[in-house]
Amino acid sequence: MRIKTLVIPGTALVAALAVGITLQVGEAADHRDGDTDLKSRALNLTDHFAFKSPNPAATDELALIMYFNPGSLASRQDFMATNARYEFHVSKVANKLDAPTTKDDYVFRFEAQAPDATGVQKVTLTILKDGMELGSHEGLSTSFADSKANNIHTNTDPIGGMTVKWFVGMRAESFHFDDTRFFQVRAYLADRLFGGTGGNGNAGATLADNCRGDKFLLPALGMPGEVQPSDGDVVNLFNPPSCASDFTHGHNITAIALNVKIPELGGGPVFDTWSTISILQ
């Protein structure tokens, strides 16, 4: 079974239409540069994950997760936008080598009301199959305080004959990225490949030692305590995990997590999945 996982750093918001409602096309972004005057943080969709549940008691479940509201500070509570639809899309495919159909065999749509005084939002999950509504149910998000205490509110009521479990709330940012070294490497590669006379590359371009003090080019036998790569590559671009910075450290995101029974999706046996956020115009 192929479950296609899409991490979305680029275009993640799509146009959507509903009877009597016009939805605006939005532009998406990555973790840091997506906040604009036209698109709030609550509409900044950063990641999408899809995998079979690792729980030994639930190996027949497909887990879907989307992240938004990136880079939230430790003391900040963020919410779902009340004028938006947050949707998981599931497309069934017969074989793992078949081209994606992009057909919405199933859509799991989440819509939220304004938060109450405790920071909890009423959230309605609607399930659509082939564009037809199977049913809907109103559940609750998990407040910031409860999420911090790992007191998670899980919504479990069946909807339209489907057994689903879902959660909405803030969690620690799981994305790890050393942006400092990334920009150093990017500048080096741009100079080395496209700098110099006529843009033909600058052979004299250099890159600073990494955070551990390793040189850009490792000696032929490798650094002390390190195993020489099997391919003989002695180029050493990035920082090791022992000292690499992480710009997401200490930050949170808002997550929507959904578990659905794979047999109830009618098999596939392959599934392509993606997330969208659509806003009312």
Does one domain contain both 142 and 184?
Answer: no
Q: Are strands 132-140 and 122-129 parallel, antiparallel or unpaired?
A: antiparallel
Does one domain contain both 7 and 137?
Answer: yes
Q: How far apart are CA 164 and CA 139, in angstroms?
A: 12
- Kindly tell me if the per-residue pLDDT of 233 is higher than 70: no
- What dihedral angle (degrees, nearest 10) is formed by the CA atoms of 54, 57, 61, 64? -40
Does one domain contain both 38 and 134?
Answer: yes
Q: How far apart are CA 102 and CA 135, in angstroms?
A: 22
Burial 214-231 (b: 16+ CB within 10 A, else e): eebebeeeeeeeeeeeee
**52: Cβ–Cβ under 8 A, 6 or more apart, which residues?**
1, 3, 59, 61, 62, 63, 262
Does one domain contain both 7 and 113?
Answer: yes
pLDDT in tens, 13-36: 232 222 333 444 444 445 555 566
Q: Is 185 helix (H, G, I), strand (E, B) or coil?
A: helix
What values do phi and psi take at 80, rounded to 5? -75, 145
Q: Which residue has the higher pLDDT, 217 or 43?
A: 43
Q: What is the rounded end-to-end Cα distance, in angstroms, of the chain?
A: 38
The structure tokens listed for 78 are: 């963020």
Does one domain contain both 225 and 109?
Answer: no
Q: Which residue has the higher pLDDT, 12 or 217?
A: 217
Does one domain contain both 99 and 209?
Answer: no
CB 159 within 8 A of CB 127: yes
- Domain of 237, in residue numbers: 178-245
Does one domain contain both 119 and 216?
Answer: no
Does one domain contain both 153 and 15?
Answer: yes
pLDDT in tens, 234-271: 667 888 888 888 777 777 889 999 999 999 998 778 89
Does one domain contain both 120 and 256?
Answer: yes
Q: What is the domain count for the chain?
A: 2
pLDDT value for 122: 98
